[in-house]
Structure 1
Amino acid sequence: MSMNRESAETLALRALGWLAAQEDLIGVFMGASGASAEDLRVQARDPEFLGAVLDFITMDDNWVVAFCEAEGLDYTAPMAARQMLPGGAQVHWT
């Protein structure tokens, strides 16, 4: 999958939809991010918020696997998408 900004945002929207359907995870995400249900709807168009969704999902390999298997994606897709969104550039300290 070739990743550009538009495809990264689309993947992140899919991730948000998947996350919203996970009753055990959506509350954790909302608690960690401080987002309300209304924020999920309103900020779904914000690339920085979508980056936060991908940041959350990529915190746990099991979440990545579950999302990618549900969406038919390669396991590297969420991180590739994250790198295309604001704040997602890899930091090299050396």
Structure 2
Amino acid sequence: MLDRRLAKPASVDAEQLAIDALGYIASEPNLMGRFLDLTGIEADGIRQAADQPGFFVGVLDFLLANENDVVAFSHATGTPLEAVQIARDKLDRGPAS
């Protein structure tokens, strides 16, 4: 029987998951092209953009906007699908007070 429990928000390293997602996007030329086109970021400006608030939320939003993309990321990295949304929500809330 498959374990269908959802990942707990506290157990998801949101920033690392977003970094992994960016690495995955960068490794897929078609995805990277779409990401750059949609964001208006130049390829050589990614590092600078990554320092901006909300950048990693945008990375995860990009993946979540297309079911095929988020499923492919999940399969390629072994990341549970629900963890992507959990990470996105955690990053959007900002650091815990």
TM (norm. structure 1) is 0.81
C-alpha displacement of 1:12? 0.2
- Please identify runs of 4+ aligned residues in structure 1 that moved more than 6 A: none
**Corresponding residue for residue 24 of structure 1:** 30
**Corresponding residue for residue 14 of structure 2:** 8
Matched, 1:66 2:72: yes
C-alpha displacement of 1:79? 0.7
RMSD of the TM alignment (CA)? 2.0
Distance 1:45 1:3 in 2: 23
Partner of 2:92, secondary structure, is coil
Distance 1:20 1:42 in 2: 15
**Corresponding residue for residue 34 of structure 1:** 40
Report Cα offsets for 1:54-80 as digits up to 9, x if no partner: 000001111111001111111111111
**Corresponding residue for residue 56 of structure 1:** 62
Structure 2 regions of 5+ residues with no counterpart? 1-6
TM (norm. structure 2) is 0.79
Structure 1 regions of 5+ residues with no counterpart? 89-94
Larger radius of gyration: 2
Q: How many residues align?
A: 87
Letter in 2 for 1:85: L
Partner of 1:70, secondary structure, is helix
Letter in 2 for 1:38: D
